[in-house]
Amino acid sequence: MKTVRKSIILSILLLCLSVSCRKDLVNMNNNPNGANPATINPNMVLSTVLTTVGMQLVNLGYQDMAGVMQHTQKDGWTTTHNEYDWAGSNSWTEYYDVLRNNQLVYNRGVALNSELHQGVALVIKSLMFGLIADLWGDAPYTHALEGDKGTPEGTLPAYDKQETIYNGILADLEKANTLLSKPKNAYAIPIDAADVFYQGDPAKWRKMANSLALRYYMRLSEKVPEKAKAGIEKIVANPDQYPLILNTDGSEDANMSFPGNSNADSWPANVVYDKDSSNYRRLKMCNTLVTTLQKFKDPRLGVWANKVQCFLVVDDNLPPGTGNVYKAVDTVVNGEQRKVRYISPDVLAAKGLTINDINQDVNYVGLPPGISGPAVYNLSNDASQASRNPHVSWLNDMYRQAKGPLLKSRIITAAEVHFILAEAAAVKGWAAGNAETHYKSGIQASFSVWGLGGSSAAYLEQPSVKFDGTQEQIIVQKWIASWTAATEAWADYKRTGFPKLKAGPYAKGPVLPVRLYYMLEERNLNKANVDAASNNLEVTTYSSFGANGSKNSPWSKPWVIQGTGKPW
Contact 209, 122 (CB under 8 A): yes
Alpha-carbon distance of 100 to 146, in angstroms, equals 9
Contacts of 180 (CB under 8 A, 6+ apart): 115, 116, 119, 120, 123, 202, 203, 205, 206, 209
Contacts of 265 (CB under 8 A, 6+ apart): 51, 258, 259
pLDDT digits (tens, 9 = 90+) for 236-256: 999 999 999 999 999 999 999
The interaxial angle of helices 225-237 and 202-219, nearest 10 deg, is 150
33 band by pLDDT with thresholds 50, 70 and 90? low
Question: Rounded mean pLDDT of 348-370?
Answer: 87
Residue 324 pLDDT: 56
Rounded to the nearest integer, the mean pLDDT of the chain is: 92
How many CA atoms lie less than 13 Å away from 144 in the CB half-sphere?
26
For the chain, list the domains and their CATH numbers.
42-263 (1.25.40.390), 281-400 (no CATH), 502-568 (no CATH)
283-285 vs 72-74, strand pairing mode: antiparallel
3-state secondary structure 113-169: CCHHHHHHHHHHHHHHHHHHHHHHCCEECCCCCCHHHCCHHHHCCCEECHHHHHHHH
Contact 287, 343 (CB under 8 A): no
Alpha-carbon distance of 275 to 314, in angstroms, equals 36
Q: In sequence order, what are the beta bridge partners of 340?
A: 311, 329
H/E run at residue 64: helix 64-68
**Burial category of 52 from C-beta neighbours within 10 Å (exposed 0-12, middle 13-18, buried 19 and up):** middle
3-state secondary structure 430-456: CCCCCHHHHHHHHHHHHHHHCCCHHHH
Alpha-carbon distance of 143 to 155, in angstroms, equals 9
State yes or no: pLDDT of 166 exceeds 60: yes
Alpha-carbon distance of 357 to 513, in angstroms, equals 27
Contacts of 491 (CB under 8 A, 6+ apart): 134, 219
H/E run at residue 301: helix 300-304
- Among the residue ranges 37-51, 261-275, 334-348, 474-488, the one predicted with the least confidence is 334-348
Contact 173, 122 (CB under 8 A): yes
* Residue 245, phi then psi, degrees to nearest 5: -80, 105
The residue type at 41:
N
H/E run at residue 340: strand 336-343
The residue among 83, 77, 73, 122 whose CA lies nearest residue 99 is 122
The residue type at 290:
V
pLDDT digits (tens, 9 = 90+) for 376-388: 999 898 888 899 9
Q: What is the pTM of this model?
A: 0.92
Alpha helices for 462-546 (secondary structure H): 471-481, 486-496, 520-525, 527-535
State yes or no: pLDDT of 52 exceeds 90: yes
Question: Rounded mean pLDDT of 411-437?
Answer: 98
pLDDT digits (tens, 9 = 90+) for 372-423: 999 999 989 888 889 999 999 999 999 999 999 999 999 999 999 999 999 9
Contacts of 171 (CB under 8 A, 6+ apart): none
Contact 330, 353 (CB under 8 A): no
- For the stretch 238-271, what's the b/e string if a residue is b when 16 or more beta carbons lie within 10 angstroms of its beta carbon? eeeebbbbbebebebbbbbbbebeeeebbbbbbb
Q: What number of other Cβ atoms are within 10 A of residue 203's Cβ?
A: 15
Tell me what percent of the residues of the chain surpass a pLDDT of 70.
93
